[in-house]
Structure 1
Amino acid sequence: MSIFNKALASIGIGSARVDTRLEETKVSPGGKINGVVHIYGGSLEQDIDEIYLSIHTTYVKEANDKKYSASAVVDSFRINSPITIKPSQTKEIPFSFMLPADVPITIGRTKIWVTTGLDIKNAVDPTDKDYLQVVPNPLMEAVLNEVENLGFRLREADCEQAPYKLRRRLPFVQEFEFVPVMGAYRGKLDELELIFAPLSAAEMQILLQVDRRARGLGGLLAEAMQMDESNVSLTVSTKDIPQLKQKLKSVIDRYC
């Protein structure tokens, strides 16, 4: 093994390469991901201390009255013990992991991707990036559908920095912003914001912010002071799906 080859590997030339292939790219929060990591040896033998997978997204963060995009690691996994890859050798390492229940769904500007990395001493660590399509699980989908059935339309969905009171495992929450376009709430509400907070695979807390439309001088003053917004939460499970519309309506009606 020449010093020249070592020097090249230290800057990524002739080093091992990695390519992750996922069996499926469409998955729901809490769903299972299967795949295989393919490692291709370079021009010299290398010791790989660790192969790791990490799930990433971005969210809107605010500092000094300015908003900017920040990245976040939703979860990470180590999938192997140290291995040695010989020159031109190919190794395949299968893996399986569960997507966290609180991973955002891919809607609007939200993107989710899996990064694979090889930890190799004295070399540039090779990486690979694969995007996921994270779709709502049955309970989330039922909630979103019933909100629309109540006359709301989704205006925006984005991941934003979590207020201190709402911060849990992750530094952000995914907000769904609805506006009333028909039915009983048109003209009564400005918007309805919704946040999912999973409690288990079959149960979640829904955080709602009901924004009432200003009526008269008192309403305008309340709106200016943000006193027209009411925050409420309710817990639902898959057993509640047949009654979801009525449960959501009864909560929203309290603040109209």
Structure 2
Amino acid sequence: MSLFNKMLASIGVGSAKVDTVLSKAVFHAGEVMEGVVKIYGGKTEQKIDALYLAVYTTYIRESDDRKFTDKAMIQKHKVLDGFTLAANEEKEIPFSFVLPFDTPVTKGATRVWIQTMLDIASAVDPTDKDYIQVEPTTLANTVLKEIENLGFRLRKAECEQASRKYRGVYPFMQEFEYVPMTGEFYGKLDEVEVVFLSQTPEKAELLLQIDRKARGFGGFLAEAMDQDETFVPLTVHKHETSEIKSRIYQLLRKYS
């Protein structure tokens, strides 16, 4: 390779391109993702240090009473170590990895995408961005469906910055905000927020924020001071899915 071509490659002119093709567009959290990364060589030979796939989402962060949208990496998976890509060469590299159980569900404003990255020293790294639809795990889906069966409707789903108390692996938590539309809790609760703190194949750790409707002057004072909200932890297991509706109902009745 001539010195001029090396300089072109180092600044990204005529360099490699990537395109990731997923086996499908809809995945469940915890499912194995499969696909192929297609790499197209440019006009010059290039040394590729590594090939990565990363799962990203966005979340809302508050600072000085202002809201900002940040992105967070959920997982980074190395597909391939270093290799040399010849000029005009084409490669197809299959991959598979497990989408983390705590991947946000793409409801409401939540977006999730797969970003493909070629790590090339001293160059503009080629990337590819593919949005995917993420459905909840079977256990999480049961929880959300049973809340709807109690007369609630999903009003908002959004990833927000996690407080220090509840911050885990990621800097955010996904909140599902439900409002009662029918049933026993209509007129008693303003809303119920559901947060999945962590999930595994066998269980899910939840946090319910139960917001009571103000009743009388004392109730309005409590609402103004945020004392009408109760935070209730809840753990559900895969083997007890038939009891989830009853357990949620008892908690909502207790704090409504």
Alignment match, 1:74: 74
Alignment match, 1:138: 138
Report the Cα distance in structure 2 between the residues aligned to 1:44 and 1:199, rounded to whole angstroms: 46
Alignment match, 1:105: 105
Q: 2:62, 2:68 within 8 Å by CA — same for their partners in 1?
A: yes
Shift of 1:231: 0.6
Aligned partner of 2:69: which letter?
S
Alignment match, 1:85: 85
Aligned partner of 1:8: which letter?
L
Report the Cα distance in structure 2 between the residues aligned to 1:18 and 1:91, rounded to whole angstroms: 10
TM-score, length-scaled by structure 2? 0.97
Alignment match, 2:49: 49
Aligned partner of 2:255: which letter?
Y
Alignment match, 2:229: 229
Q: 1:5, 1:14 within 8 Å by CA — same for their partners in 2?
A: no
Alignment match, 1:60: 60
Identity %: 50
Report the Cα distance in structure 2 between the residues aligned to 1:102 and 1:172, rounded to whole angstroms: 11
**In the TM superposition, what are the counterparts of 1:201-220 in structure 2 within 5 Å?**
201-220=201-220
For the residue of structure 1 that corresponds to 2:106, the secondary structure is: coil
Q: 2:102, 2:199 within 8 Å by CA — same for their partners in 1?
A: no
Report the Cα distance in structure 2 between the residues aligned to 1:39 and 1:89, rounded to whole angstroms: 8
Q: 1:20, 1:37 within 8 Å by CA — same for their partners in 2?
A: yes
For the residue of structure 1 that corresponds to 2:52, the secondary structure is: strand
Answer with 9-18 or 76-85: which moved more.
9-18
Tell me, which stretches of 5 or more residues in structure 1 are unaligned? none
Alignment match, 1:38: 38
Report the Cα distance in structure 1 between the residues aligned to 2:123 and 2:164, rounded to whole angstroms: 40
Report the Cα distance in structure 2 between the residues aligned to 1:70 and 1:121, rounded to whole angstroms: 26
Tell me, which stretches of 5 or more residues in structure 2 are unaligned? none
Shift of 1:11: 2.6
Alignment match, 1:187: 187
Answer with 49-58 or 114-123: which moved more.
114-123
Aligned length: 256
The CA RMSD over aligned residues, in Å, is 1.1
Shift of 1:188: 0.6
Report the Cα distance in structure 2 between the residues aligned to 1:179 and 1:127, rounded to whole angstroms: 40
TM-score, length-scaled by structure 1? 0.97
Report the Cα distance in structure 1 between the residues aligned to 2:74 and 2:99, rounded to whole angstroms: 9
Alignment match, 2:118: 118
Shift of 1:2: 2.3
Shift of 1:47: 0.7
Deviation string, structure 1 residues 146-185 (Cα, Å, up to 9, x no partner): 1011111111110000011110000000000011111110
